[in-house]
Amino acid sequence: MLLTQKAVAEGARALIYLTAQKADLLQRGKTEEERKEADELLGFLTPIAKAFLTEIGYEAANLGMQVFGGHGYISEWGMEQNVRDARIGMIYEGTTGIQALDLLGRKVLMTQGESLKGFTKQVHTFCKENADNEQMKPFIEPLAELNKEWGDLTMKVGMTAMKNREEVGAASVDYLMYSGYAVFAYLWARMAKVAQDKLAEGTSEELFYTAKVQTARFYFTRMLPRTKAHAVSMMAGADTLLDMPEEAFAL
Amino acid sequence: MADYQAPLRDMRFVLNEVFDAPALWASLPKVAESVDPETADAILEEAGKITSGVLAPLSREADEQGCKWSDGEVTSPDGFKEAYQTIVEGGWNGLGGNTEFGGMGMPKTLVAQFEEMMQGANMAFGLAPMLTAGACLAVDAHGSQELKEKYLPNMYSGVWSGAMDLTEPHAGTDLGIIRTKAEPNDDGSFNVTGTKIFITWGEHDMAENIIHLVLAKLPGAPKGPKGISLLLVPKFMVNDDGSLGERNSLSCGSIEKKMGIKGSATCVMNFDGAKGWLVGEENKGLNAMFTMMNYERLGVGIQGIGAAEASLQNAREYAMERIQSRAPTGAQQPEKAADPILVHPDVRRMLLTMKGYVEGGRAFSTYVAQWLDISKYADAAEEDRRKRAEGMVALLTPVAKAFLTDRGLDACIMGQQVLGGHGFIREWGQEQLVRDCRITQIYEGTNGIQALDLMGRKVVGSQGKLFELFAEDVATFIEENSSEESLRPYLEPLAAAFERLSDVTEHVIKQASDNPNAIGAASVDYLDLFGLTALGYMWARIVKAAAPKAGDDTSGFYSGKLKTARFYYDRVLPKTVSLAEGIRSGSESMMAHTAEEF
Ligand SMILES: Cc1cc2nc3c(=O)[nH]c(=O)nc-3n(C[C@H](O)[C@H](O)[C@H](O)COP(=O)(O)OP(=O)(O)OC[C@H]3O[C@@H](n4cnc5c(N)ncnc54)[C@H](O)[C@@H]3O)c2cc1C
Ligand SMILES: Cc1cc2nc3c(=O)[nH]c(=O)nc-3n(C[C@H](O)[C@H](O)[C@H](O)COP(=O)(O)OP(=O)(O)OC[C@H]3O[C@@H](n4cnc5c(N)ncnc54)[C@H](O)[C@@H]3O)c2cc1C
């Protein structure tokens, strides 16, 4: 429970900074090209940052409460308030469902996948740079694989969506969650890289950096597999969602 | 908020069509004496009326009002006292109770349906009858004849309610370290002294007397769980003629402010040399608790389904009325400013997930209840049948408790999401469902503890033998139905999911032989994997019952079942792939952190 919270909180912080960096570049970028690239990435990352982080943030808040056992349920400790407060995040400023439509429908598919490519290119470069780094192997290998799958899935969803517009809404939340875990994988790999470099150089904060590497490993082994279910689910098609007549929902 | 309607149609479907409960009842002589299909149906009907008509309307206001504590007395929310009286008059407290002492002797398969309605209608209230029934079970199974005669009739009737006093400030999960003491008197009674916390309905104004079942240590008792005894401690002493005597020396010190189930009192109970009597043998208190634990744990799982059902009712009604945006394929109701949100695939995804959990969960809890009935009532001549049922109960109970409450909470949260901003506002009752349901993951053994019980004690502890019982049941179903056309799309993925579960089971049993952390590292994901697969099995059984009737059915009930099953298999069951992979990665990444590194 604690490691999940740690992986969420620290991964989320990294995603927020990454997104904020793009916002800064959009305003203060030196060249038109730099600003344009930042604009695209910002558009791509924003719905993920909003929806994915509020979803897994809520999960983490619930886990924090669970660590307290029965005391977590009692107002005095503040843990249940944290859960109640965190719940609104998934609702206001556009619900998770709406963010997901924005990501898949407007950002990814309307640009013919270009906005995703802007991001996966960076991931690809990072993977190539570290391809020969033995220590990074447990991170780079799954990340590279995921990066490719992400593109493939997007293609497939795009193809079905051209035939049936309802496919976008049928796949969107799973697509967004998948993308969130993928972005986190990239960020955790980057953090692991920095931490490993620091440890190799020698540092007075050995515990801090060791913990980063270990949390990255936890993320990759215990949380990242969630992408598998989202991948299957997003490809299941709209029919299973739309076949049910309105009356049958009430039975 | 939608008015809660007891889901009688689906309960009848599960009982009669999926599981053929009447045949089960007829095969258990003791049950057959008490119930036949007509009686059962009349009970369901009446239960539906009371829960929807009397209990449900009180829930929202009770949440606002809460219980009030004043000078040791607890006042329940408006209407609770009268509603409790209705429950007493109907004899609902003793529905599953021993007929020898005034219970109605109904099987758990039927009682489970009543429990779901009651918990779905009003969980804060429902805890009082639930705890009373639990206390009765313990007294009936382990109490002396004298205790049973003196206490059970009034507890089954509900004139007296029951409370379970286990938890102490420093001891929740680990009851081996409790400090409450029980010192023997010459007349065979004990003086009980200590402080208990979080005692649900430990004090209130709805019943004439409150019978506390208290865990305590006798002088010189061994340390740890093997030195704990169970004592019956009444609020008012009971005279030999059954009338109430003086007040016992116990009192409620305060009640907690909490996240949900606010209509129920969560009490600090102070025992100050209160008089009590041993239930069962000295130092065997935890054993005595185990008998009722299976029932109580299933009961908490059922609370999860109850809340999820209420959430589903709320959300689907809202989704049909709320108009917002147009369907992706163009306006469906052009005369209106927008289409109902039910047209949006994502809203359907949420509702169907809820339906998959609620209806599949109802089948699963009934399936577990069926094993409980066999283990309790099977004839002496049928020792094998009983043994097998006992094994099933042991294996499946932690799954029922934790999986159904985890998915119950998911369903409440999804229902809230369907309501958008209105799901966050109290008026609609949806956020209350989330707050109420959240406790079910914590009490009666946290879900983490259930997972350890499943993985450690049951699966690894029996070296896979208990798991084999369940595996056989599923394999038999698959085999028997292999030529069933309607089941074709389901049996293969079910077999695949089951194989995944079996492989992981074997894997963890192997790991556990030389790694003490293997069990705890796998357990929560394992329970989830188990539950998702078991619900897959339930959905296949639902299809088997529904498919032959779907063709001629104009109501849409049966064809709806088939569609929900399809959805569950396509979009929910795949989670097992992710879980299996996470479990296989082992404990290394979980145990690497030192305390400072956190
Ligand atoms: C509203 C409410 C009503 C309640 N009603 C009753 C009642 O009627 N009667 C009663 O006796 N009690 C009642 N309880 C108490 C409840 O049963 C306990 O809170 C629960 O058993 C957990 O104990 P704890 O709070 O001490 O948590 P702890 O035992 O301190 O657990 C804290 C966390 O550590 C984990 N943990 C603990 N030990 C282990 C382990 N060995 N391995 C892995 N993880 C572990 C737990 O899973 C949990 O996440 C109630 C509680 C509440 C909040
Ligand atoms: C505490 C709180 C504070 C708020 N603060 C502000 C504020 O300061 N300013 C302000 O203007 N608003 C504020 N809001 C409103 C908030 O932004 C809205 O509640 C939110 O945008 C959702 O709108 P809705 O409630 O009408 O839900 P609805 O739009 O009715 O949505 C209901 C459900 O349907 C889904 N849905 C709707 N349309 C579609 C579609 N086309 N496709 C797929 N799914 C769909 C949604 O995802 C949701 O699950 C606040 C709300 C709350 C609860």
Confidence of residue B292 (pLDDT cuts 50, 70, 90): confident
Question: How many folded domains does chain A comprise?
Answer: 2
Whether A66 and A160 map to the same domain: the answer is no
Question: Model confidence over B235-284: pLDDT tens digits?
Answer: 999 999 999 999 999 999 999 999 999 999 999 999 999 999 999 999 99
Q: pTM higher than 0.95 for the full model?
A: yes
A97, A122, A140 - which closes a domain: A97
Residue A44 located in a structural domain: yes
User: Is pLDDT of B291 > 80?
Assistant: no
3-state secondary structure (DSSP) of residue B463: coil
Whether A120 and A221 map to the same domain: the answer is yes
Whether A65 and A152 map to the same domain: the answer is no
User: Is pLDDT of B1 > 70?
Assistant: no
Question: Model confidence over A18-41: pLDDT tens digits?
Answer: 999 999 999 999 999 999 999 999
Whether A152 and A201 map to the same domain: the answer is yes
ipTM of the complex: 0.95
pLDDT for the residue numbered B289: 85
Question: Model confidence over B301-340: pLDDT tens digits?
Answer: 999 999 999 999 999 999 999 999 999 989 999 999 999 9
Whether A92 and A125 map to the same domain: the answer is no
Query: What residue numbers bound the domain in which A68 lies?
Result: 2-97
Residue A107 located in a structural domain: no
Whether A30 and A73 map to the same domain: the answer is yes
Residue A250 located in a structural domain: no
pLDDT for the residue numbered A246: 86
Cβ(B504)–Cβ(B580) below 8 Å? yes
Contact between B566 and A243 using a beta-carbon 8 Å cutoff: yes
Residue B570 located in a structural domain: yes
Contact between A241 and B577 using a beta-carbon 8 Å cutoff: no
Cα separation of B206 and B93, whole Å? 13
Question: Model confidence over B418-468: pLDDT tens digits?
Answer: 999 999 999 999 999 999 999 999 999 999 999 999 999 999 999 999 999
φ, ψ dihedrals at A202, nearest 5°? 95, 130
A 137-196: CB under 8 A from B: 165-166, 168-170, 172-173
Question: Model confidence over B339-392: pLDDT tens digits?
Answer: 999 999 999 999 999 999 999 999 999 999 999 999 999 998 999 999 999 999
Residue B325 located in a structural domain: no
Residue B170's alpha-carbon distances to A1, A173, B268, in angstroms, are 21, 43, 13
Beta strands in B37-159 (DSSP E): 68-70, 73-75
Token pair in block for residue A128:
């190539």
Q: What is the DSSP string of B156-183?
A: HHTSEEEEEE--BTTBSS-GGG---EEE
Residue B559 located in a structural domain: yes
Question: How many folded domains does chain B comprise?
Answer: 1
Q: Within an 8 Å CB–CB cutoff, is residue B347 touching chain A?
A: yes
pLDDT for the residue numbered A151: 97
Whether A167 and A136 map to the same domain: the answer is yes
Share above pLDDT 70 across residues of chain B, in percent, rounded to a whole number: 100
Report the chain B residue with the minimal C-alpha distance to residue A209: B597
Residue A251 located in a structural domain: no
Residue B558 located in a structural domain: yes
Helix (H) or strand (E) holding A137: helix A137-163
Question: Model confidence over B151-190: pLDDT tens digits?
Answer: 999 999 999 999 999 999 999 999 999 999 999 999 999 9
Question: Model confidence over A125-157: pLDDT tens digits?
Answer: 999 999 999 999 999 999 999 999 999 999 999
Active site includes B444? Answer: yes
Share above pLDDT 70 across residues of chain A, in percent, rounded to a whole number: 100
Residue A106 located in a structural domain: no
Whether A116 and A235 map to the same domain: the answer is yes
pLDDT for the residue numbered B100: 97
Residue B434 located in a structural domain: no
Query: What residue numbers bound the domain in which B549 lies?
Result: 460-589
Whether A81 and A128 map to the same domain: the answer is no
Q: Within an 8 Å CB–CB cutoff, is residue B438 touching chain A?
A: yes
Q: Which positions in chain A touch B446 (Cβ < 8 Å)?
A: 66, 69
User: Is pLDDT of B108 > 80?
Assistant: yes
pLDDT for the residue numbered A165: 87
The CATH number covering residue A74 comes to: 1.20.140.10
User: Is pLDDT of A14 > 90?
Assistant: yes
Residue bearing tokens 């569950």: B568
Cβ(B229)–Cβ(B270) below 8 Å? no
User: Is pLDDT of A181 > 90?
Assistant: yes
Whether A181 and A86 map to the same domain: the answer is no
Residue A249 located in a structural domain: no
In angstroms, how far is the first alpha carbon of chain A from the final one?
38
Cα separation of B370 and B379, whole Å? 15
Residue A245 located in a structural domain: no
Residue B509 located in a structural domain: yes
Cβ(B448)–Cβ(A66) below 8 Å? yes
Q: Within an 8 Å CB–CB cutoff, is residue A113 touching chain B?
A: no
User: Is pLDDT of A113 > 80?
Assistant: yes
Residue B159 located in a structural domain: no
Residue A66 located in a structural domain: yes
Token pair in block for residue B196:
């208990």
